[in-house]
Structures are given as C-alpha cells and as structure tokens.
C-alpha cells in the first residue's frame, strides 16, 4: 500500500490529508463527510467515496512531491519528462487554463493524443483542438476566436500583415513532421516499384501515360510492367499533403514549376482523378487497378499500403519511413516561416518528400496567465520527453533536435500584454 504511506509522511507536515487510514476503515462512523451526503447512505458507499477522496488527495500530493524534489518521487509519478530539461518540468506546472486551437487536419491525431496526455499530467489545463483545415484555422486565429492556429504551410507575409495589431506580430512554431508516399495499385507488382524525380513529375503531369513507358522500365529492371494507362489520383480537397507533394515536384522539375506549380490545391491534368482526404485517395487507389497517387505517410503506414521507393539527391532509392523522413529534415537545420521547404535534401538516407506543420500564436498575449499556459503546452508539445514522444507511436516523425531548439527559441519570444516579459520560464 504505497499511497497511504506517502500520505502519512505528508500528514506530519501539516497538510490537510491526515487520518486517511482511519477514514478508509468503514468502522469509523463519525468522520466528516462531504456536505450533501445523506445520513441514510450505506456504509460501503461512504467508504468508497472516502477512499476516492483519499486517493485523489494522495495523488495530488504525489505530483506536488514529484515536482519539488524529483528524487523523492516514485516510478509511478509523472517526472519522466523533467530529466535534464528544466523547461519541460516547468511546462507541466502551467496554471489552469482552457485553451482552444483550430486548423490543420494533418496534425489532428498527434495533437489529440499529445493534449490528452498533457491533461492527464496537468489536469488544470485542457486543450480543445478543432481540425477544421489550415485555411479555416488561420481565419479563426486572425479573428481571435482561438488561442492558437495550426497550418501545414506557414502563413504568408500577406496573411501575417492582416493579423490584428494587438498580436504584436505572429510567431510560427514547427510542431510536427510528416512525409508523403507514392502509393500504387499495380497488379503483378506488389512491392518494390522504384521511381525518380523526373518520372514522378512526368506521371503526374500526364506526359508518362503508360506503365511500360521506357522512363519507368529503365528504373525497374527485371520487373514486368504492363502496357496499361496510368490513372493518377490527387487530393480534391486543398491540403498540406498536396502542398508538400507539389513543393517536391516544383523543386525537381522545371516543367512542373512552369506549369501547375505548388500549392495546397493546384491544377492537375484533366485525366487525374480527384478524391477527398487521404482516405479518399487511398480508396480510389485500392479500387482502381493501374493507379498511383500520393498519400500522407502516417496514413500509408497504418494501412500497410504499397508505396514506391524514391530516388533522392544522393542517388539512392529510399522508402518512406519515420527514419528516412527524419533524416531528410535533419539535413536542413535552419528552417523558418519564410524558408521552410525541406523537400529533396541531400544525404543518402533522406526520403525527399516531406514537410513540417506549424502552430501559430500571437507574439503578444492579451492575458499573461492564459499565455503562460499556452506557451507551456506548446513547448511541451514540441519536445522529446513531451508531446514528441507521442508522434512515433502514431507514425508521425518526431521533430529533429535542432528544430526542437528552434521551437523553444521562438516560444521564448512570446510576451505578456506588456510586450516585454517572456512567458516561457524554467
């Protein structure tokens, strides 16, 4: 019985949780009970209630104990995060607040799990995240209806300029890293299709229209490719996944850059089928033989999709994975909201189609108390030992360490209403 033991030690320090042992024992009739408890209550019920109360108090004590002197806490407590990072330990002590955010659907799985975990460690803070789409998230953020926005593409300078003057500027923090896979349905070729940049651009531009085109067969010696027309599938809804994929095509192909270009929604050839969402694209690929489309990495991994290995700058064929996308991102240590593209990086292990998602917050918070909780949550979210620990289990790529540092540096710039006091503290 660990809990009463702990409680007892603290009872001696004058905290109001004494006599837990005696209260738990059902024989004690006259213990002070919660005000509304009717006298006729059965003994067992009361005992359960008191026990619950005692457990809750003891739990709180445990947490308090853990943060004041980490060595005293037991293995069940919440101090795995603190370690050597004083900010992370402080993050979990953020004051009570109900925070709201809105935006990207891409980050929703990570946010949902991370914020749930955070609330379980600091029950005073709840975060309500609405996955309404990046564009709607930016609108909500600029309208001041949410504490933070989330967008798969950083806000453009023109949009930043439209933010309310009271924000004192907009800070953009990378919060999640993801990749885009090329999934295909090619009867007879279950795995191992290899593609390079010009071929991918050709397929999606419609200039390579058959599976046995010399451009594809040259890359796949020994694979018998059918003489069938290629059906390409794209996202019909505008999305960060499309942005990352077209950012890649735009970087590797001058004809693509001069044509469709890059964006969250671009003009695809008339022959390309549009489907809504990762699930829509995946469904279309699954039900259409000889098709190929782009699907976000986490979705492809969770649904065990077949995907192509892509030739990177170093000339090696790399399959998309948490490690290969992380390797690509690590190649570019200095991203910013104006220079954020990480597609097609060097390095033999880099998978070249990847990108960050961003959280948007006001530089000057209108309430110091809420702002403090907000930066604490976001700092926790963007670090190993905090929210980034949730990413891998959901098949999202944890942020490289240099990006975690960048996130903290950015969050340290957030101030209270006075415009000078930083809100993120150790």
Partner 1 sequence: MAGGIFAVLLIAFVVAMATQAVPAFSKLGVSFLWGSNWDPAHNHFGVLPFAVGTIETTVIAVALAVPIGLGTALALAYLAPRRLRAPLSTAVELLAAVPSVVYGLWGLVAVAPLFRTTVEPQLTSVLGWTGLLGGPNQGVGLLLAGVILFIMVLPTMVAISRDVLAAVPHDQVEGAMALGATRWQVLRKVIVPGARVGLLGAFTLATGRALGETVAVALVIGNSAHLAPSLKANAGTIPSLIVSSFGEASGTQLNVLFAAALVLLVVGIGVNALARVFVRSVKRSGAASVTVA
Query: Please, which of residues 159-198 interact with partner 1 by CB under 8 A?
Result: 159
Instruction: Kindly state whether residue 337 participates in binding partner 1, applying the rule CB under 8 A.
Output: no
Strand, helix or coil for residue 296? strand
The DSSP bridge pattern shows strands 170-185 and 194-195 to be unpaired
With CB under 8 A as the contact rule, which of the stretches 50-58, 193-201, 270-278, 357-365 interacts with partner 1? 270-278
Count of residues of this chain found to bind partner 1 when the rule CB under 8 A is applied = 39
Residue indicated by tokens 């564009």: 135
Instruction: Kindly state whether residue 246 participates in binding partner 1, applying the rule CB under 8 A.
Output: yes
C-beta separation of 366 from 147 below 8 A: no
Torsion angle (degrees, nearest 10) of CA 349, 352, 357, 358: 90
Token pair listed for 219: 């890359």
Of 133, 178, 320, 385, the residue at the interface with partner 1 (CB under 8 A) is 133
Instruction: Kindly state whether residue 149 participates in binding partner 1, applying the rule CB under 8 A.
Output: no
Name the helix (H) or strand (E) containing 204: helix 197-205
- Tell me whether residue 36 or residue 158 sits nearer to partner 1 (CB atom): 158
With CB under 8 A as the contact rule, which of the stretches 134-142, 168-176, 199-207, 315-323 interacts with partner 1? 134-142
With CB under 8 A as the contact rule, which of the stretches 92-100, 183-191, 282-290, 339-347 interacts with partner 1? 282-290
Strand, helix or coil for residue 130? strand
Of 59, 280, 349, 417, the residue at the interface with partner 1 (CB under 8 A) is 280
Instruction: Kindly state whether residue 108 participates in binding partner 1, applying the rule CB under 8 A.
Output: no
Question: What separation in angstroms does the CA of 279 have from each of 7, 129, 397?
Answer: 51, 21, 20
Strand, helix or coil for residue 371? helix
- Tell me whether residue 122 or residue 284 sits nearer to partner 1 (CB atom): 284
Rg (CA), the chain: 26
Of 122, 176, 181, 236, the residue at the interface with partner 1 (CB under 8 A) is 236
**Using alpha carbons only, what angle is made at residue 86 by residues 82 and 92, rounded to the nearest 5 degrees?**
55
Query: Please, which of residues 86-105 interact with partner 1 by CB under 8 A?
Result: 105
Instruction: Kindly state whether residue 148 participates in binding partner 1, applying the rule CB under 8 A.
Output: no
C-beta separation of 168 from 418 below 8 A: no
Residues that bind partner 1 (CB under 8 A): 105, 132-136, 138-139, 158-159, 229, 231, 236-240, 246, 260-268, 270-276, 280, 283-284, 287-288
């Amino acid at each position: 019985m660990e809990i009463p033991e702990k409680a007892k030690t603290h009872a001696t320090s004058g905290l109001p949780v004494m006599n837990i042992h005696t209260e738990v024992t059902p024989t004690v009739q006259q213990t002070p009970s919660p005000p509304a408890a009717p006298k006729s209550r059965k003994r067992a019920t009361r005992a359960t209630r008191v026990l619950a109360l005692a457990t809750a108090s003891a739990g709180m004590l445990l947490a308090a104990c853990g943060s004041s002197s980490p060595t005293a806490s037991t293995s069940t407590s919440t101090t795995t995060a603190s370690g050597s990072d004083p900010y992370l330990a402080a993050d979990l002590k953020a004051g009570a607040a109900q925070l709201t955010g809105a935006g990207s659907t891409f980050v929703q799985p990570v946010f949902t799990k991370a914020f749930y975990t955070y609330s379980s460690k600091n029950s005073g803070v709840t975060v309500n995240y609405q996955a309404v789409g990046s564009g709607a998230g930016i609108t909500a953020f600029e309208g001041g209806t949410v504490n933070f926005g989330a967008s798969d593409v950083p806000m453009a300078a023109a949009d930043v300029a439209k933010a309310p003057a009271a924000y004192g500027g907009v800070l953009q923090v990378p919060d999640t890293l993801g990749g885009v896979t090329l999934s295909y349905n090619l009867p007879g070729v279950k795995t191992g299709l290899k593609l390079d940049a010009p071929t991918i651009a050709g397929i999606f531009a419609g200039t390579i229209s058959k599976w046995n085109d010399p451009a594809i067969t040259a890359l796949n010696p020994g694979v018998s490719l059918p003489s069938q027309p290629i059906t390409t599938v794209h996202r019909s809804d505008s999305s960060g996944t499309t942005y990352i994929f077209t950012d890649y095509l735009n970087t590797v192909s001058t004809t693509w850059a001069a044509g469709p270009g890059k964006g969250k929604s671009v003009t695809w050839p008339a022959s390309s089928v549009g489907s809504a969402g990762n699930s829509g694209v995946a469904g279309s690929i699954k039900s259409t033989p000889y098709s190929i489309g782009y699907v976000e990495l986490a979705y492809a991994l969770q649904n065990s999709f077949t995907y192509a290995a892509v030739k990177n700058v170093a000339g090696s064929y790399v399959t998309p994975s948490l490690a290969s996308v992380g390797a690509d991102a690590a190649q570019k240590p200095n991203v910013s909201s104006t220079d954020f593209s990480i597609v097609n990086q060097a390095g033999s292990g880099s998978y070249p189609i990847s990108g960050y998602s961003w959280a948007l917050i006001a530089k000057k918070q209108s309430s110091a108390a809420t702002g403090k909780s907000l930066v604490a949550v976001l700092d926790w979210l963007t670090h190993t030992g905090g929210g980034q620990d949730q990413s891998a289990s959901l098949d999202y790529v944890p942020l490289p360490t240099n990006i975690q540092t960048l996130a903290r540096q950015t969050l340290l710039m957030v101030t209270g209403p006075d415009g000078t006091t930083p809100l993120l503290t150790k």
